[in-house]
Amino acid sequence: MSEPYILPRKGSIQDPLRIAVLISGGGSGLLALLNYQQSNPCAHITKLIISDNVNAGGLRYGEDFSIPVAAIPLPESKNNVEQRIMHENLIHDILLNSNIELVVLSGYMRILTPNFVCKWKGRLINIHPSLLPKYPGAHAHRDALADGAKITGCTVHLVDEGVDTGKIISQQEVPILEGDTIEKLQERVKKVEHQLYPKVLDIFCSQDS
Ligand code: GAR
């Protein structure tokens, strides 16, 4: 039987849950979240931004919003498994040092090992650009177009040991239009993600644990 998903406590406007956002790229989802937190009283607050990519464009939002950032690239190692675990241990340490209560993946393009997932289970959440269980993995839009799908969307889900297999929290559909390319579809889905994720996080953080 799998373990229950439990947040450490219920967040509130007065005492929001401290979150870290993990990114790998441009960070448009991070920006949407930071704008939401700035303009709405809510049950979560971003206290740390982490990227595995030192050149991630989204890291600049740390300075814009006065939030600490940590760029943590993969450490040198000849052994791939060891390298991933060393990397995640660095991330884990900084999460603990910053008293992070919830880890929010927003365009973080690495698959986390069970070693990390089990430490954060129930406190580790992701947004994926498809209607899971359809099109898991790193190429959701390419796969949806190749499949001739007419509808795709995005999914907010808890992260478990599998690839995009954790418990689904919320989904929203997005139509696929005639002449869509990966880029056009990605932009349309991102607009929906930017509305959905901050609100779903708010509900998730305010729930009784
Ligand atoms: C978002 O569409 C997010 O759903 C996706 O990456 C994009 C990040 O964009 N995540 C995944 O594909 C995870 N497998 P951003 O860097 O502009 O926020």
Q: pLDDT tens across 129-154, in order?
A: 999 999 999 999 999 999 999 999 99
Mutate to test the pocket of ligand 1, among 33, 35, 46, 128 (most ligand atoms within 8 A of CB): 128
- Looking at residues 53-57, what average pLDDT do you find? 98
pLDDT over 90, % of the chain: 93
3-state secondary structure 109-128: CCCCCHHHHHHHCCCEEEEE
Exposed/middle/buried for residue 40 (C-beta within 10 Å: 0-12, 13-18, 19+) = exposed
Its sign, for the CA torsion 138, 203, 68, 84, is negative
Report CA(1)–ligand 1 centroid distance (Å): 31
Where in the sequence is the domain holding 191, given as residue range(s)? 17-206
Taking all residues of the chain, what is their mean pLDDT, rounded to a whole number? 95
Q: What is the pLDDT of residue 107?
A: 98
> Roughly what angle, to the nearest 10 degrees, separates helices 28-39 and 182-206?
40
Flag whether 70 is in a domain.
yes
Report CA(186)–ligand 1 centroid distance (Å): 9
Mutate to test the pocket of ligand 1, among 21, 22, 28, 194 (most ligand atoms within 8 A of CB): 28
Please give the positions annotated as active site. 128
Q: Which residues contact 165 (CB under 8 A, 6 or more apart)?
A: 132, 133, 136
Cα 107 → chain centroid: 6
Q: What is the pLDDT of residue 28?
A: 98
Q: Which residues contact 84 (CB under 8 A, 6 or more apart)?
A: 74, 110, 113
Q: Using alpha carbons, select from 2, 52, 1 the residue that is nearest to residue 27.
A: 52
Q: What is the pLDDT of residue 150?
A: 97
From atom 6 of ligand 1, which residue's Cα is the shortest distance away?
A: 107
Flag whether 5 is in a domain.
no
In ligand 1, which atom is closest to the CA atom of 128? 4
In ligand 1, which atom is closest to the CA atom of 26? 16
Q: What is the pLDDT of residue 8?
A: 80
Q: pLDDT tens across 10-35, in order?
A: 999 999 999 999 999 999 999 999 99
Flag whether 8 is in a domain.
no
pLDDT at 5 over 90: no
Flag whether 4 is in a domain.
no
Domain count, the chain: 1
Flag whether 12 is in a domain.
no
Flag whether 166 is in a domain.
yes
Residue 164's CATH number: 3.40.50.170
Q: What is the pLDDT of residue 1?
A: 45
| Residue whose token pair is 């869509």 | 180
pLDDT over 70, % of the chain: 97
Q: Is the pTM of this model over 0.75?
A: yes
Q: CA-CA distances (angstroms) from residue 106 to 79, 164, 188?
A: 27, 13, 16
Residues contacting ligand 1 via CB (< 6 Å): 23, 25-30, 58, 106-107, 127-129, 138, 140, 190, 193
Flag whether 10 is in a domain.
no
User: Distance (Å, rounded) from C-alpha 12 to C-alpha 195?
Assistant: 20
Q: pLDDT tens across 80-125, in order?
A: 999 999 999 999 999 999 999 999 999 999 999 999 999 999 999 9
From atom 17 of ligand 1, which residue's Cα is the shortest distance away?
A: 28
